[in-house]
Amino acid sequence: MQKITIAIDGFSSTGKSTVAKQLAKHLGYIYVDTGAMYRAVTLFTMQNGWIDNDQFDVASLVTNLDKVTINFKFNPELGFAEVYLNGANVEREIRTLEVSSYVSKVAAIPEVRYQLVKQQQLMGKDKGVVMDGRDIGTVVFPYAELKLFMTASADKRATRRFDELISRGDIVKYEDVLRNVQERDYIDSHREDSPLVKADDAIEIDNSDLTLEAQFQKILSLVNKTLEKLA
Ligand code: DC
């Protein structure tokens, strides 16, 4: 059976990774969470003290980018690949609100994007990949056979992210999560390099009122239609 590239873009907390993981499992494809890669570079920047509320030392980050190695390793218990930064599993650390509050700034740096996009293109070179992010259908794989653009209201998205953080034991306020979601929407869609935009040929999925199962079935039928067209 022919393999395709599935590009999933959209605002933060629109459930991109949930559906991407479901699809990858169902199709036997590789799943790549590109947001995790930008988060890992952000964690590296924080570990070196180059970013905090008052400053961002872009020059030091850029000069030291060659010291960042990001890998994914499949965890059979979880059923997906976890992200490693310079050999250490950072899957949990990269999901904190603190990392979320800096990641859009780090992701706006062209040198960071250049490095990560190169790696992403390599990971998907044999197709059979589901990749989610902000620029997958526009920059990383402009020729992807299927492009999805996920949306949902800011309130629904903040509620989902808030529930997720609380369920893993983080102490956060809903207002802070909502503000972070809105700030990231703004920075991600207004940056100069590869801003978040819907590709002309992407199919928009608003999942504000869709159950996970309904969304999965809807997207799976789009995958099947794409595969039929290519057969
Ligand atoms: O999907 P996420 O929320 O984990 O992504 C974290 C941040 O990384 C997001 O605010 C924007 C950035 N990002 C990006 O600029 N390009 C991508 N392909 C993926 C994520």
Q: How far is CA 22 from the centre of its chain?
A: 15
The pLDDT of 170-193, averaged and rounded, is 93
Whole-number pLDDT of residue 79: 86
Ligand 1 atom with the shortest distance to the CA of 13: 3
38 Cα: distance to centroid of ligand 1 (angstroms): 6
Residue-wise pLDDT tens digits, 26-83: 999 999 999 999 999 999 999 999 999 999 999 999 999 999 999 999 999 988 899 9
Regarding the beta carbon of 134 and ligand 1, being less than 6 Å apart is answered yes
The pLDDT of 183-196, averaged and rounded, is 92
Query: Furthest-apart CA pair in the chain: how many Å?
Result: 55
Identify the CA nearest to 62 among candidates 22, 111, 2. 111
Residue identifier of the C-alpha nearest atom 5 of ligand 1: 35
133 Cα: distance to centroid of ligand 1 (angstroms): 6
The pLDDT of 202-216, averaged and rounded, is 94
Residue identifier of the C-alpha nearest atom 10 of ligand 1: 104
**CA 183, 65, 54 angle in degrees (round to 5)?**
40
Whole-number pLDDT of residue 198: 96
Give the predicted TM-score (pTM) of the model.
0.94
Regarding the beta carbon of 184 and ligand 1, being less than 6 Å apart is answered yes
Choose the residue to mutate in 138, 188, 190 for probing ligand 1, maximizing ligand atoms within 8 Å of C-beta: 188
Q: pLDDT band at residue 169, thresholds of 50, 70 and 90?
A: very high
